[in-house]
Each structure stands twice: as C-alpha cells, then as structure tokens.
Structure 1
Amino acid sequence: MLEQVNPVKRFRSVGSCSGLDRACRQDRMRVVERERGFALLMVLWTLILLAFLAMVFADNARTEVFLARNLVDNAQAEALADGGIYRAAAGLSRDPVDGGFYGDGRVYVWPSEAGEVRFWIRDEGGKVDINNAPAALLRELLVIVGADSKLAESLADAIIDFRDEDDDKQPHGAEVREYRAEGLGYGPKNQRIVLTDELIYVPGMTADLLARLSPFITTFGQDELPHKATAPRQVKAAVIAVLNEGRGGRSDDASTGDGSDIGSDTGGTLSTNDHRTSFGSHSASSFGSSSSFSSRFSLGSGLSSGFGSSGDLSADGWTDEESGSAFAEDGDEGVEENRSGVNIYTVHSEARTVNGTMFVREAVVNLAGADDQPFVINGWRQGTPQLFVPGETVPAVAASGP
C-alpha cells in the first residue's frame, strides 16, 4: 500500500535534504524555478497595469490642456467681440462728418494682433416702431419677412389691439374675446410694448416669424415712419409699399418675397477705400476682396426708384422735395440725416481669433441713457455669426488703431 505524502512535508524534506541525495536536489530546484516564474508573471502584470494608468493619465492631461486652450481662445474671442461693442459706442460719440460711425448697417473692421473684429451699427430710429407704426406698415413688413397677406393683415391689427388702451377691436384684430377663443389665459396688454419679444403673445404670431421680424422692429422709435437714411432695405420696401398704396398703386420695387435673405442683410454697403470703415493701417479691403462677402451686404439698387419723383410720396423726409431722390451719397447728408436722433443703436460685433475661434455679441447702446456716463448698455446677449465667410482665415496683423 502506497503512502500519501503531504506536499508541505515533502517541501520541508526537500529543503533539508542532504547534498548526497540527488533526487532531493532536483525536487528543490523545480520548486525554486516555479517560484521564479510566478514572480516574473507578477512583475509583468504590474508593469502592464502601470503602463495603462500612465496612458490614461496622459490622455486626461492632454484633454485638460485642450480644454484650457479652448477656454482661453473663447475668452479671447469674447473679449474682442465685447471690445467691438465699446469701440462702436466710442465711434458713435462723434458725428459721422467728423469721423464718427454711421448707424445705417455698414460694416466696420477692426484688426488686431489677436484677430479681427467686424461690427455693424443699426440706428433704432430706422426700424419700425411697433408702438407707433400704423397697421398698414406693420402689415407690409410682415409680408416682406414671409407672412402671407391674410396672416399679415390679422397680425397687424392684432398688434394694434395689443398695444392700445381701449377694448375696441380692429377689423381683423383681437381683443379679450378672441384671446379666449384661442384658448389663451390672458388678453391684450393694452399698454405700451416694452420689449419686441412681447409680440409672441399676440394671437397668430409664431417664434419663427417673430425671429424674422425682430431685426426690423423696435420699441425705441419716436415716429410712425422710420428714419429713411438709417432704415434697412426691408423696412424701406415696406414704407414704399405703404406710400404707393396710399397713392393708389404699388411699386414693383416694393414687391415682397419669402424673407429668405433677411438674416444676412445689414442694410449697408461695404466700402474698401473709406477711412470710416477701417481702423489703423489696414483698410476694409483686407477681407472685402471676397465677392461672396461683399455681395451679402450690398444695398438693393432697385429700391430707390420706389420713392418716385412724385411729391405725393413725400412723408417724413422719405423723398427729397426738390429732386425726388430717395438716397443721397454717403457723406453728403448732414448729421441730422445720418442719424435719426433717437440716440439708441443696436451693435452687432463678431470677433475671430488667429486660431479661428469666433464669438458674437449683440448689444443695445443708449447714448442718452445717463448724465454721468457717455452711454448705457440697455441689452446684452450672444448673437449668431453673419459677417465672416465660412472657411475664411484671419491673418495676424499689427494693430495701430486710433
């Protein structure tokens, strides 16, 4: 009968075997080699684990570096765009004839070592004031931005009912009864509109239509008709339609479309040789050579004929009574013609760093907001890009602005 040997006892016996026992020495060597192989395997697994941890750490560190770089680029682009707002406000403090900025939507360029800033300024007096505009002007503007004629007519009357203090319904408007019929838990405001966004509460108004309408309306105006010299071309077309309708006709130049070009229009022309549209030693031609860019900001040449040569169209300076000319050449008008007198402007500023990071800032600048400071920012928000052509690069240049 074979005796079962305990492995522990065998290990101990091997460890204490005499040098004369050959089999004992061989068993001992096998145990040592087995222990060495296990130790080597543990070392290899430890090295693999350390290498994996190092790789994860390096990847996280690289991600953190990228995030920090993006944060720096975004902060730089935001600072440049904000600087464009203040640069525009500073330019508005001077008369255009003295080198100040115009509020007609023309594009200004401000290069620097960090990138480039492009901004336009729009005089709020050149927009349609929804608190003063007649229903006919509201209707024509709504049609121009894409509303069908029936919806435009009802919305125009509903806006009148929304702002007036009485309960008398316009022919196609909406008072409390109509709001209730629409299932709305509120009625017309029946007081002055403070924000253009309030029009979303008018029955029939949609967010998309309001977004297309917003660039051309204001609550800061003072007259029924907008200021001619600073009005966007869509507003000019709406006024033309109203004035011609009052004369018993309608100009082809005031024909409406689907409003698809609304978003890219600034209402001004890009001048490549005018000192008023560039700063320092670099003129606006540094980017104006792109035909696709310059064409986006050209004023429709056909609009001028809509003002006609008849004195019947004369209203609030919309036509020159002597010559019948609808527009004067840039720089020919007096200060009163170049600015509406409202002294409130929308500034759209876009910045692009040398690394290609972009930021867009829009602000409403009030030059008459306070006595103890030159201007007040009435509104401040992040905007959407309009002025930089996709894929366009901005060269690094030395800034030498005024």
Structure 2
Amino acid sequence: MLWMVAALTILVSGVLYSVRVDTRVASGHLERARATALLDGALRLAAAELAASPNVPVKPLQLIYKVGEAEIAVDVALASGFIHLNTAPETLLTDLFAHAAALPPDQAATLAQRLIDWRDADEDRAPVGAERAEYEAQGLTYVPRNEHLRRPDDAGQVLGLVAGVYDSIRDLVTTAGTGGDGTVNPLVAPEAVLAVLARGDQARARELVAMRQAGVEQTLDVTSLGLAHASAWTGRDYRLRATYRSHEAEEWSRAAWVSLEGAMQRHSSRLPWRWLYAEELRRIVEPAEQWTKASH
C-alpha cells in the first residue's frame, strides 16, 4: 500500500511540475506577442509622426508613446550614421570586423573580401575572398548571390561570418536606401560606429559624442574630424528602435528601417513612408541575468 501511495505522490508531483512549466511557457508566448504588438504599433506611430513633421529630423531623437499602462520609447536615427553593407568599401568593412567584432587583421580582411564577393555581380574571387567554389568545398547548400544584401542579417550566410561575429556588428550596420557613396555621417552616427571610423579609438569616439551633445557639431567641417570614410550626407532613411519594459520587468526591443523618400510616388503606397525591413524582436538580457545563466 505504501509503495502505491509513494508512486501516486511522485506521479502527482510530476503532473504539477509539468503544469507549472506549461504555464510559464504559455505566459512567455503571451508576453512575447504583447511586446511584438506594442513595439510594432509604436514603430508605425513614429514613422507617421516623422512623415507628418514639417522639419525632417537630422539629429538623433527619442519619441515616447503610451498605450494603456505601457510606455514605449522609440529612438530615431538617420541611416546615414550606420555602415552600409552594400556600399561600404573594403577598408571600412575591414575596420568594422577588426574593431567592432575584435577580429585579428587578417581575419577581418578575409571577411571583408568575402562580403564583397557575396554582394558584387561577378564571380571573380578576391585574393582572400570566396565565390561558388569555396562554398561548395565547405559542403554548403548555397552559394553567393552576387547581388546586394536585402537585409543586414543576410550577411550571416557569408562564409566564415558566424553568429557571434554578426551579433557584434548588427547594431552598427544597415542595408537601407542607397548607402550614399559608402561613407558614414559622423554627426549622426552612434558611438560604436564612431569607434569604427576612428579605427578603434574609443576615447576619440566619446569625444565626438560629447561635442555633438554640446552642439558644437553645427560648426564642424566633417573632413576636419580626422575620421576615415566620413562625409556629411544625410538622406531620408531612418532606423527606428522601440523599447518596452513589461509588467514582469522584462525589456523588449525591436528596430525597423523606414524611408521618407517619395514613398507614395515611387511605390504606389497610400502611406507617406515606406517600411524597408524590421529586425527580429529582442529580449534584452541584463548583465546580471547573463552571469546567472552562465553560472548554471
């Protein structure tokens, strides 16, 4: 009799544990769906507000939206402050991989050439690049498209550009718009991009951010900053990054790229902006939580 009671106790404990796990999973899915809806709504509200503004913003700004009890912050930045994967020259891509992803110079140069081989129209391999033969030799089921990347995460298919490397550069890059002439506007670039333009000089990047915050950039000549691949071009393409903290104290984020460049005329759209692409929803993990997970 005792063994039957013990067995039933174990069985009931297992069922209760399974129910708790299922409840947590369901709650997680619900919270993710809620975050997606709130962030996507805020991104579209921000796009509409930008399109309706008589003065198209150049300097980075933040817009705040309230939906019920939720508060969503949307950071707005010109796409010209990011490194364009389709037009950036080899030297800038090499600096990107060397300073943002902390790769050795030879590995950074290899990835830069492989990315260019992926995006250019020919099948001529760069000295340390990769074309069809190199992909087939690695047993991959795909080969370079020999066309521009549609989204930044397409770069994850480039031979050797592993997830960890892409994670290091994804907040610094774009494929929105034409990309100008492959240069970056340091007057609107994030600090991490400035560090790449300054070839790893973090102090110089912080100095430039401080100058912008003080309003000094209005009197600056971009060519006098001593940065590689810099110009004052702006354009009308933007990155919108929405952030929201849930009731469970989880922080969620999503970025979208939009264009205000003649959307209605060029794309038969009824909206005064064009939705270029949206990045995946991200749950922002606090450093303490990352340490806790790593310690298990």
Match of 1:138 in 2: 93
- Structure 1 distance, partners of 2:26, 2:166, is 38
Match of 1:216 in 2: 172
Which of 176, 183, 195 in structure 2 is aligned with 1:237?
195
AA aligned opposite 2:221: D
Which of 197, 217, 221 in structure 2 is aligned with 1:320?
221
Match of 1:248 in 2: none
Give the direction of change, closer, same or farther, for the CA distance of 1:350–1:153 in structure 2 (3 Å limit).
same
CA displacement, residues 322-352 of structure 1 (integer Å, 9 cap, x when unaligned): 9x3689xxxxxxxxx6x821x2222221223
Aligned length: 253
The runs of 5 or more residues in structure 1 that have no matched partner are 1-59, 242-250, 256-298, 306-318, 328-336, 392-402
- Structure 1 distance, partners of 2:234, 2:42, is 22
TM-score of the superposed pair, with normalisation by structure 1: 0.51
TM-score of the superposed pair, with normalisation by structure 2: 0.67
Q: Is the 8 A contact 2:118 2:147 kept in 1?
A: yes
Match of 2:294 in 1: none
CA displacement, residues 70-103 of structure 1 (integer Å, 9 cap, x when unaligned): 88876665443233212321332255x95x6556
AA aligned opposite 1:349: A
RMSD: 4.2
AA aligned opposite 1:361: R
Structure 1 segment 182-197 matched on structure 2, within 5 A = 182-197=138-153
Which of 167, 174, 186 in structure 1 is aligned with 2:130?
174
Structure 1 position 370 matched with structure 2 position 273? no
- Structure 2 distance, partners of 1:120, 1:388, is 20
Structure 1 segment 3-402 matched on structure 2, within 5 A = 77-93=35-51, 98=55, 101-102=57-58, 104=60, 106-111=61-66, 113-145=68-100, 146-220=102-176, 221-241=179-199, 252-253=201-202, 300-301=206-207, 320=221, 324=224, 340-341=234-235, 343-353=236-246, 356=249, 359-368=252-261, 369-371=263-265, 372-386=270-284
Match of 1:54 in 2: none
Match of 2:214 in 1: none
- Structure 1 distance, partners of 2:276, 2:144, is 25
Q: Is the 8 A contact 1:78 1:351 kept in 2?
A: no
- Structure 2 distance, partners of 1:235, 1:80, is 28
Larger radius of gyration: 1
Give the direction of change, closer, same or farther, for the CA distance of 1:354–1:175 in structure 2 (3 Å limit).
closer
CA displacement, residues 100-142 of structure 1 (integer Å, 9 cap, x when unaligned): 65563x5443456513112212322221112211110000011
The runs of 5 or more residues in structure 2 that have no matched partner are 1-18, 212-219, 290-296
Q: Is the 8 A contact 2:250 2:283 kept in 1?
A: no
State the shift of 1:222 in Å: 2.5
Give the direction of change, closer, same or farther, for the CA distance of 1:380–1:129 in structure 2 (3 Å limit).
closer
